[in-house]
């Protein structure tokens, strides 16, 4: 064997040894990696217990006058005096404007005299009847004359009474188109009177919302971010509006000083029936691949499980949700880095429960 052949054999042997050592190292490395245990993901959790919660329905609303009445003239004549200015508060029965009496007081005096005469005639007829000197026809005529006199007196009294147009209830004179000297006839508009205490709040509820609202439910009206005294639901429509497909509802609230006007924008927050729910931090609410709202919890084996939940309210402490078991271990930190079915290493926060 010549020198060149020996060198070639030695070179091939060296290559084989080199390859063999690399495979050995890869095998050892692979075996070592298999033996390494992957550490569990660390998460922070708290205990959460189900508790009663009153969901709140928030509706955009407008204030309205509790009543608005157009006060009409009930007799004809010239306006002789204006008794109240527009925008002024008025009491029930207080005069708004005065219509000239003309000869109505004379007609009233005449009607009173006619009634006296009819009464005397009727009494006389009855005395004659007792003595047998009066016929039934004469008695009937005297009785009819007496009834007619009474009717004429009542009509004359009403004519005088209606000379002053009066407010039908306590309220505000919103409009008064008449001035002194205007001539009015039966049915002429004298003034519009509105009642602002109590104040009405009107809103539209959707099909999903109206089913959770009942007459008498308590609410809070919020004007420009400032809460005022409570309101109470007084009306719920049974038929949807054909245009909006919503249901009209009304609430009433006290407005003793009548400082709140009709037509103001207001947010009406209505408290509905109590339900069982969980109060959770807002950061624990996630969206799954289907776009559903979920929350991740741990079971007894510390395995992750996601529950689809429905948000039913908010508070300063967090978000109210339904759809969870009565007692859960809620993942509050690290929920974005774990998946369903994964076993994790939990640690409890100092305050480990939500109540």
Question: Tens digit of pLDDT for each residue in 66-120?
Answer: 999 999 999 999 999 999 999 899 999 999 999 999 999 999 999 999 999 999 8
Structural Rg of the chain based on CA atoms: 45
For the domain made up of 42-54+275-354, the CATH class stated in words is: mainly beta
Q: In the structure, what pLDDT confidence band is assigned to residue 43 with cuts at 50, 70 and 90?
A: very high
The number of beta carbons lying within 10 Å of the beta carbon of residue 159 is 21
The pLDDT value recorded for residue 10 is 64
pLDDT class for 350, splitting at 50, 70, 90?
Answer: low
- Name the pLDDT band for 258 (thresholds 50, 70, 90): confident
End-to-end CA distance of the chain, in Å? Answer: 92
Is 236 a residue whose pLDDT tops 90? yes
Name, in order, each residue with C-beta under 8 angstroms of 59's C-beta and a sequence gap of 6 or more.
203, 204, 205, 209, 249, 267, 268, 269, 270
% pLDDT > 90, the chain: 66
Instruction: Answer yes or no: is pLDDT of 32 > 60.
Output: no
For residue 134, what are the contacts with CB-CB under 8 A and spacing of at least 6? Answer: 125, 126, 128
For the domain spanning 57-64+194-271, the CATH number is: 2.40.30.170
The per-residue pLDDT for 271 is 87
What is the distance of C-alpha 266 from the center of its chain? 9
At the topology level of CATH, where does 69-190 sit? OB fold (Dihydrolipoamide Acetyltransferase, E2P) (2.40.50)
| pLDDT, average across residues 237-249 | 93
pLDDT single digits (tens) 269-293: 998 888 899 999 999 999 988 889 9
Q: Where are the domains of the chain?
A: 1-35, 42-54+275-354, 57-64+194-271, 69-190
Q: With a cut of 90, say whether residue 156 has pLDDT above it.
A: yes
Report DSSP letters for 245-278, one per residue.
--EEEEEEE--TT--SPTT-EEEEEEE---EEEE
């Amino acid at each position: 064997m010549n020198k060149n052949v020996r060198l070639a054999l030695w070179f091939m042997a060296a290559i084989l040894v080199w390859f063999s050592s690399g495979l050995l190292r890869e095998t050892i490395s692979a075996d070592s990696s298999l033996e390494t245990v992957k550490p569990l993901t660390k998460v922070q959790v708290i205990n959460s217990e189900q508790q009663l919660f009153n969901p709140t329905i928030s509706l955009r609303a407008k204030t309205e006058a509790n009543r608005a009445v157009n006060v009409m003239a009930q007799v004809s004549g010239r306006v002789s005096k204006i008794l109240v200015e527009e925008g002024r508060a008025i009491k029930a029965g207080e005069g708004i404007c005065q219509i000239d009496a003309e000869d109505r007081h004379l007609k009233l005096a005449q009607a009173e005299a006619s009634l006296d005469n009819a009464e005397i005639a009727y009494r006389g007829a009855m005395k004659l009847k007792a003595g047998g000197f009066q016929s039934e026809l004469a008695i009937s005529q005297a009785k009819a004359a007496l009834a007619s006199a009474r009717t004429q007196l009542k009509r004359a009294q009403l004519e005088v009474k209606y000379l002053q147009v009066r407010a039908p209830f306590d309220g505000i004179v919103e409009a008064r188109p008449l001035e002194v000297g205007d001539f009015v006839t039966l049915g002429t508009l004298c003034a519009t009177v509105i009642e602002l205490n109590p104040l009405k709040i009107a809103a539209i509820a959707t099909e999903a919302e109206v089913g959770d609202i009942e007459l008498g439910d308590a609410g809070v009206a919020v004007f420009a971010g400032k809460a005022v005294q409570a309101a109470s639901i007084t009306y719920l429509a049974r038929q949807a509006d054909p245009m909006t497909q919503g249901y009209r509802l009304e609430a009433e609230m006290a407005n003793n000083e009548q400082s709140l006007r009709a037509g103001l924008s207001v947010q009406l927050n209505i408290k509905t029936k109590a339900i069982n729910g969980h109060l959770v931090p807002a950061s624990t609410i996630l969206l799954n691949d289907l776009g559903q709202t979920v929350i991740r919890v741990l079971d007894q084996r510390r395995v992750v499980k996601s529950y689809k939940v429905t948000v039913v309210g908010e508070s300063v402490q967090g978000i109210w949700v339904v759809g969870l078991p009565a007692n859960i271990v809620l993942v509050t930190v690290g929920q974005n880095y774990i998946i369903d079915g994964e076993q994790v290493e939990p640690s409890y926060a100092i305050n480990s429960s939500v109540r």
